[in-house]
Amino acid sequence: MAQTDRRDAPGLPDFSLLKRLARDQLIYLLEQLPGKKDLFIDADLMSPLDRIANVTTLKQHEVDKLYKVELKPVVSVSDQLCFLIRPRIQTVKWIADVVKSDKAVGRFRRYKIIFTPQKFYACETVLEEQGVYGDVTSDEWEFYLLPLDDDIISLELPEFFRDNFLEGDQRWVTTAGSALRLLHFLFGPFSKVYGIGRCAKMVYESWREQVEDGEKKAQNPDIGNVFLIDRDVDFVTPLCSQVVYEGLVDDIFRIKCGSVEFGPDVTSTDKSLKVMLNSQDKVFNEIRNEHFSNVFGFLSQKARNLQTAYDKRCGMDIKQMKAFVAEELKGLKQEHRLLSLHIGACESIMKKKTKQDFQELLKTEHSLLEGFEIRECITYIEEHINRQVSMIESLRLLCLLSLTENGLLPKDYRSLKAQYLQSYGIEHLLSFANLRQIGLLVEQQPGETLTVMESKVGKLVNDKTAGKLTDAFSSLAKKSNFRALSKRLMLIPKTGEEYDLRVPRDMAYIFSGAYIPLSCKLIEQVLERDGWTGFEEVTRMLNGHEFAVTGGNSGTETRNKTDPQRIILVMFLGGCTFSEISALRFLGRERGCKFIVLTTAITNSSRLLESLLDNQG
Amino acid sequence: MTRAKPEDDDWNSSKIHAFTFDDDDDEFTKLKESKRAVSSILVDDDDDDDDDDDDDVEKVSWSGEPVGSISWSVKETASSIRSGGEHGFPKINTAPSLPKQGSGYSLSSLFKASTRVYAPELRKPKSECKDYFSDWSPEETVKRMRKGKVYSLERFRSLQDKLLLLDEAVSAHDGNVITAVLIYLKKSLSKEIFFQELMVREIALRHYVHYLKEMEEQKTLVELMKLPFSQDDAIHVQDHYTLLERQIIIEATDKKGEAEIFKKFPRKASILNMPIITTLYYSCFYHYGESEGTFSSPANIRSTFRISEKQYILTALGARAKLKSWFDVDSLFNTKNWLGYTKKRSPIGFHRVVDILQKNNAPVQVLKDYVSLIDDAELKLSLAQKYKCHDIVIEMYRDLKDRQQLIVYQGKVERGSHEDRKIDQLLGNMQIRWKN
């Protein structure tokens, strides 16, 4: 809570402009279809749309009724149907069906599809194949960027992760490049771009080409530096349990587009409540980046202060009372409401976490990160699976095990997979195939681990000892990148030292002092050394694809960093977690700079893994 | 927002081309192909397949190291851009690091990824007049497609042209365009030829597979891919069918719910399509004690699906504890040694057993038996305290000769209770040599 900005820290640019631009373009597109019309909106576009326009705005532009796209026959009686959708083949197929069934009964309507943020050829091909191309007109709403908070901008494209990293479909590369182009145009020009990852490179190229082709204008930049990072550079961090307040709230209640729905157990009424969680919420703003263990103390202090403020009323005369009611009471009531809400949330979190033996879970996670007592960790995970505790949670632990150990031993892999399928169902066979493909849950290649020596020894001793020996040998033979990276970058603070979570000394505080997030550590180091020099070993372990480039006019950079130089846009391709954002905020405070996070979506372990499941049949 | 709207181009998109400069386009592409092949062999690493028809591209190598080391600021000679705010950024090589297998037409196969960076090419003012022709080269076609301009794929008729187009799309890293080209290729090539070419182009193949998935063209997908089922996976699938058979048999009888237990604990859902362990739990709950011969018995399910002892004990424990059949719980762990004494043995830690029992609201009398079996003294003490197994705590402090702790603990038990008296007795016992 004592975390205040350095006085010389630069201010953040105002991103509300992005909302205005998006709204204006939407209005323009709606006006392209004059007259009354019904609007069908993709379910996952409703919240983003809510953040930039409201129903009144839509009604002003002759939108009559609003429907959610549900892929069912439509009941609308309007003569004009407008569809506001993401470019997905399934949705376009449904629209083609709507048009065809209207045709079949001789009904005439006008149809317009507004694709956002862009259309795909494959979607238009569906219209062509279904014989409705021409009956349906289409347009693009270039709504690339949604500011979720002062320092977070989201593309709201969760499918980016699966499409790019699992399916190998590069359809969103240009989209990401366009998003960057827009920021460059409005808040640039950027002077340096750093990056790592295959996708990051392609996005950089796409952006560069677009900037070269587009119009340019001279202006003073707000944002100087950009860092692009692929999600698959660091899978470990998003798979760890979040223990910083905002991340924890996301893990438990799921923050959607900057808003969360608190159930009756939090509100202690019989109603659920939707709350916006951002810097506007003064109470939240002070606890969002805190380790959960500090939050209680802070809230109770806050409650005491509030009581004192209320108590001032006693002994007031009429005039003072009048002033109190006019000036302070509203603010106090507001704070009171927020305070009781967050206290309720904390209680609910505590209850849930105690029930699932969170402490033991964290201990296992930390052991995995440290590479300590791996056999015990495997036993813990096995029992977790055997007891059919949360399917996603088991998968998360398996993936962490595989990532930190550079793959599972073949016998462990087979046994854990078999038990997993027995506990959670055969349909997860496909999930395992996906996880293997993306590299989250893999088997060590035979030969990599079994040395001649080991197999000889193995034959001589009994099974139990052999198991232990296997562990010992494999840890020698494996080329474990995470371990090596963690050692090289010093991601695991020394054990035994007391870590005061109230006064964090490094970014490890976001994981209780047990682990510095790899992604954020890379960003820190590259910015510090102004490139990748001396990091060849690290980039080799991360499979390369690193770059650091400078724009044409900034060759005369001085040592004194100007304000824009200290505003760094970090683009996460494939999503980032709230914990990473907290870590970057911490880093910014330490270094007197500001980070702006641009992400394809906010993610966490559940979202990341759920997007890789294949259980839709 | 600065994107050119398609309407701007409509008027010049007519397919009638009265006049063309490049009527020997095929020759041209072939020439370029060999040119690129040659340069990629000679230069070996730092060529990018993106350098198109401008021969006047000047490459300035840039190391990717911190600025100041090499300055490469390049002046734009073209006057089309206003001076002042432009920040030219260098091009970087984005070719995938894994070389593709050789196909006669794949040109991008020899490039290695490197972080070598180039200065932007010196661009000539674009000759806009090229927009009037529909004889666009693969490069131009892909460029137009990426910008949402009018384009035409009909002229790509020879296999070679089609593949050049595809490779060009792939090297531009625009998935949207790659898929568009694939859709055209699918329509204009026989399946055999198309698949054969896809097999040597991994990026294109993955786009096509994803497209088929989205189109729900399962049949084509199966034809294209031999499903990657390993030997192990085949066993899992076989298990699944066996399981379904069993579930159907069990469901048929249990649906009627005639047995006493179904009346006492009515089923909440059908057992069909549940995982193996859920089925085992169900069987331990409703069919415990049935002989191994029946399909619904736990023993039968256990052996059919090769369930480990540990897994079996955990599941049976959960089910019997839920029913509060403490006798069954005890017998899960009882073993007789050769002298006939019963002894409790478990493949899972007894702290875990305690945890499961406690979650099922087992009474202290049951819990304490299992707490006392925990090996780790520290864990045993903390769990005994947590679950109020007073006797165990008292005895442990006695054995540790820890008088202070015992006094502290006396505050936690009820005044005048059996435990209270026991502590008094111990504290008054002169024969114990307390350590404090």
Distance from B75 to chain A by nearest Cα, in Å?
9
A306-336 confidence digits (pLDDT tens): 888 777 777 777 877 787 777 777 778 888 8
Confidence of residue B70 (pLDDT cuts 50, 70, 90): very low
Q: What share of chain B is helix, strand, coil (3-state, %, to 5)?
A: 50, 5, 45
For residues A590-594, give the mean pLDDT. 88
CB contact under 8 Å between A549 and B310, yes or no, is no
Q: Report d(CA B335, CA A36) in Å as an integer.
A: 79
Q: Which residues of A touch B66 (CB under 8 A)?
A: 529-531, 533, 548
Q: Check pLDDT > 60 for residue A456.
A: no
Query: Quick one: tokens of A529?
Result: 């050394």
Give me the pLDDT at residue A298, please: 84
CB contact under 8 Å between B64 and A549, yes or no, is yes
Does residue A114 sit in helix, strand or coil? strand
Q: Report d(CA B146, CA A222) in Å as an integer.
A: 29
Nearest-CA residue of chain B relative to A224?
B87
Half-sphere exposure of A176 (CA within 13 A, CB side): 34
Nearest residue to A444 via CA among A412, A486, A482, A476: A412
Interface with chain B: mutation pick from A24, A121, A533, highest number of B CBs within 10 Å? A121
Q: Check pLDDT > 90 for residue B18.
A: no
Confidence of residue A577 (pLDDT cuts 50, 70, 90): very high
Give me the pLDDT at residue A91, please: 93
Distance from B128 to chain A by nearest Cα, in Å?
13
Confidence of residue B256 (pLDDT cuts 50, 70, 90): confident
CB contact under 8 Å between A383 and B352, yes or no, is yes
Question: Between these two residues, A147 and A189, which has the higher pLDDT value?
Answer: A147
Distance from A531 to chain B by nearest Cα, in Å?
6
Interface with chain A: mutation pick from B61, B69, B173, B283, highest number of A CBs within 10 Å? B173
Q: Check pLDDT > 50 for residue B20.
A: no
Question: Between these two residues, B222 and B31, which has the higher pLDDT value?
Answer: B222
Q: Report d(CA A69, CA A66) in Å as an integer.
A: 10
Give me the pLDDT at residue A496, please: 65
A11, A17, A18, A20: CA torsion to nearest 10: 150
Nearest-CA residue of chain B relative to A210?
B147
Q: Which residues of A touch B206 (CB under 8 A)?
A: 167-169
Check if the beta carbon of residue B50 is closer than 8 Å to that of residue B91: yes
Q: Report d(CA A339, CA A303) in Å as an integer.
A: 7
Q: Check pLDDT > 60 for residue A556.
A: no
Distance from A268 to chain B by nearest Cα, in Å?
25
B78-91 confidence digits (pLDDT tens): 222 233 334 578 88
Q: Report d(CA A53, CA B354) in Å as an integer.
A: 55
Distance from B32 to chain A by nearest Cα, in Å?
22
Q: Check pLDDT > 50 for residue B283.
A: yes
Question: Between these two residues, A217 and A363, which has the higher pLDDT value?
Answer: A363
For residues A298-313, give the mean pLDDT. 79
Q: Report d(CA B321, CA A369) in Å as an integer.
A: 35
CB contact under 8 Å between B173 and A173, yes or no, is yes
Q: Report d(CA A206, CA A173) in Å as an integer.
A: 7
Nearest-CA residue of chain A relative to B88?
A552
Q: Are strands A192-196 and A546-550 parallel, antiparallel or unpaired?
A: antiparallel
CB contact under 8 Å between B64 and A532, yes or no, is yes
CB contact under 8 Å between B236 and A213, yes or no, is no
CB contact under 8 Å between B179 and A122, yes or no, is yes
A148-199 confidence digits (pLDDT tens): 999 999 999 999 999 999 988 999 999 999 999 999 888 878 888 999 999 9
Confidence of residue B119 (pLDDT cuts 50, 70, 90): very low
Distance from A322 to chain B by nearest Cα, in Å?
52
The fraction of chain A above a pLDDT of 90, given in percent, is: 35
Nearest-CA residue of chain A relative to B112?
A545
Nearest-CA residue of chain B relative to A142?
B1
Nearest residue to A404 via CA among A237, A612, A544, A532: A237
Q: Give chain B's length.
A: 436
> Which amino acid, one-letter code, is at B176?
N
Nearest-CA residue of chain B relative to A176?
B174
Poorest-confidence range of A252-266, A442-456, B238-252? A442-456
DSSP state of A65: E
Of A191, A217, A547, the CB nearest to B115: A547
Residue A8: how many CB atoms within 10 A of its CB? 9
Query: Which of B159-173, B256-270, B414-428 is most confident?
Result: B159-173
Nearest-CA residue of chain A relative to B74?
A552
Residue appearing with tokens 């966490």: A604
Residue A308: how many CB atoms within 10 A of its CB? 9
Give me the pLDDT at residue B88, please: 74
Give me the pLDDT at residue A63, please: 84
Give me the pLDDT at residue B80, please: 27
Give me the pLDDT at residue B40, please: 46
Distance from B228 to chain A by nearest Cα, in Å?
9
Query: Which of A83-97, A350-364, B105-119, B212-226 is most confident?
Result: A83-97
Q: Check pLDDT > 80 for residue A346.
A: yes
Of B115, B180, B276, the CB nearest to A122: B180
Poorest-confidence range of A331-335, B105-109, B232-236? B105-109
CB contact under 8 Å between A386 and B315, yes or no, is yes
Question: Between these two residues, B232 and A25, which has the higher pLDDT value?
Answer: A25
Q: Check pLDDT > 80 for residue B348.
A: yes
Check if the beta carbon of residue A167 is closer than 8 Å to that of residue A574: no
Q: Check pLDDT > 80 for residue B132.
A: no
Q: How far is CA B65 from the centre of its chain?
A: 35
Q: Which residues of B touch A530 (CB under 8 A)?
A: 66-67
**A-contacting residues in B 284-323 (Cβ below 8 Å):** 305, 307-308, 310-311, 314-315, 318
Residue B40: how many CB atoms within 10 A of its CB? 20
Distance from A289 to chain B by nearest Cα, in Å?
33
The fraction of chain B above a pLDDT of 70, given in percent, is: 68
Enumerate the β-bridge partners of residue A275.
A260
Question: Between these two residues, B223 and A254, which has the higher pLDDT value?
Answer: A254
Q: Report d(CA A445, CA A462) in Å as an integer.
A: 24
CB contact under 8 Å between B179 and A121, yes or no, is yes
**B90 touches A: beta carbon within 8 Å:** yes
A512-533 confidence digits (pLDDT tens): 888 999 999 999 999 988 888 8
Of B87, B94, B176, the CB nearest to A552: B87
**B341 touches A: beta carbon within 8 Å:** no
Q: Check pLDDT > 80 for residue B367.
A: yes
For residues B290-318, give the mean pLDDT. 90
Question: Between these two residues, B126 and B393, which has the higher pLDDT value?
Answer: B393
Of A173, A386, A426, the CB nearest to B175: A173
Of A21, A142, A423, the CB nearest to B277: A423
CB contact under 8 Å between B2 and A425, yes or no, is no
CA distances from A333 to A259, A284, A311, A615 (A): 21, 15, 13, 47
Domains of chain A: 15-143 (3.40.50.2060), 144-234+490-616 (3.40.50.1910), 245-351 (3.90.830.10), 355-445 (1.25.40.850)
Q: Report d(CA A516, CA A496) in Å as an integer.
A: 16
Confidence of residue B44 (pLDDT cuts 50, 70, 90): very low
Give me the pLDDT at residue A585, please: 94
B170-229 confidence digits (pLDDT tens): 999 999 999 999 999 888 888 888 888 888 888 888 888 888 888 887 777 666 665 556
A466-481 confidence digits (pLDDT tens): 444 444 444 333 345 8
**B150 touches A: beta carbon within 8 Å:** no
Poorest-confidence range of A101-110, B37-46, B178-187, B223-232? B37-46
Q: Check pLDDT > 50 for residue A28.
A: yes
Query: Which of A77-91, A494-508, B246-260 is most confident?
Result: A77-91
Report the b/e string of A29-62 with b at 16+ CB within 10 A.
bbeebeeebbbbbbebbeebbebbbeeeebeebb
Beta strand segments in B227-352, E: 334-336, 342-344
Query: Quick one: tokens of A274?
Result: 């939707």
For residues A46-75, give the mean pLDDT. 86
Residue B350: how many CB atoms within 10 A of its CB? 22
Q: Report d(CA A600, CA A159) in Å as an integer.
A: 9
Q: Report d(CA A368, CA A401) in Å as an integer.
A: 6
Helix (H) or strand (E) holding A226: strand A225-230
Q: What is the pTM of this model?
A: 0.76
Check if the beta carbon of residue A599 is closer than 8 Å to that of residue A20: no
Of B93, B173, B307, the CB nearest to A206: B173
CB contact under 8 Å between B89 and A549, yes or no, is yes
Question: Between these two residues, B56 and B217, which has the higher pLDDT value?
Answer: B217
Mean pLDDT of chain A: 84
Confidence of residue B396 (pLDDT cuts 50, 70, 90): confident
Residue B24: how many CB atoms within 10 A of its CB? 11
Q: Check pLDDT > 50 for residue B23.
A: no
Of B1, B81, B113, the CB nearest to A142: B1
Of B87, B210, B315, the CB nearest to A191: B87
